Amino acid sequence: MKVGFIGLGIMGRPMALNLLKGGSDLTVWARRPESMTPLLEAGARGAGSAAEVAAACDVVFSMVADAADVEQVALGAAGVVEGARTGLIFVDMSTIAPAAAQDIAARLADKGVTMLDAPVSGGEVGAISGALTIMVGGDEAAFARVQPLLACMGKTATLIGGPGAGQVAKACNQILTGIGVMAVAEAFNFARKSGVDAAKVREALLGGFAYSRILENHGQRMLDRNFKPGFKAWMHQKDMNIVMQEAHRLGLMLPGSAATAQLFNAMVGSGMGEEDSVAALKLLENMSGA
């Protein structure tokens, strides 16, 4: 299959490079031409628009910021739908609302394009190492066709259900990771304000029921004061906003998610939006007078 990739940012660039390493015949496009340079140097072909990518490919992946960007890439002027042949599979790996994914999938289906929503978890580190967790919604036959490609980018790819189901799973992931990051930040801030070494606390907790990957990985980054973005705070704010919008639509009470969403709002409002979400520790320290 000839493969396309649209969106070459922090996540998209290493994901596309892993498709190249896996032997894909790859065509790429990004709104910023300089973003394509590492892919072109690695052997990919460049295109002048999303439509040009679609015209050259059997499968097109996208990794962009939000639902408006996905809609533009898929259905807008010079978008995928303008270049697609009947039978094209469009795999959007962005994180957007389930309802938005369902709407875009339905509109693409009317044009003969099959869409899979396939958001990921694992951040920049997982994207670089090809160890992402991929959650997929959509047609089972299309999923089977693209599984070898997903295997180049992720350690697992799970078909959750129909259109939008991948985005539901990603929203659940963001609830758990968002609350988890805030919980670790609260624990470390509590330890330090109590005059106790947070590193020793983490060491002890890693051996008990409080163990989590977030405590292990993100906790160490907090201790190292390493706030270089792998997953920016504004991105987590966006994802928690999706969770809360869906909760309102479904009439659900999600108290932990609501509190976490407000904390990410505070991070962005305090000028920490471009830092990693683990900078939540700094927010809590500032609020505590540290």
Active site residue: 2, 155, 170, 238, which one?
170
Q: How far is the C-alpha of 21 from the C-alpha of 237, rounded, in Å?
A: 33
* H/E element, 261: helix 255-269
Is 170 annotated in the active site? yes
Cβ pair 47, 4 in contact under 8 A: yes
Alpha helices (H) in 62-97, listed in sequence order: 67-75, 80-83
Q: CA nearest 165: which of 127, 136, 195, 198?
A: 136
Inter-axis angle of helices 12-21 and 140-153, nearest 10: 90
Cβ pair 265, 275 in contact under 8 A: no
* H/E element, 89: strand 89-92
Q: Number of helices and strands (H, E) in the chain?
A: 15, 9
Q: Phi first, then psi: give them for residue 161, nearest 5 degrees.
A: 170, -150
Burial of 58 (0-12, 13-18, 19+ CB in 10 A): middle
Catalytic residues: 170
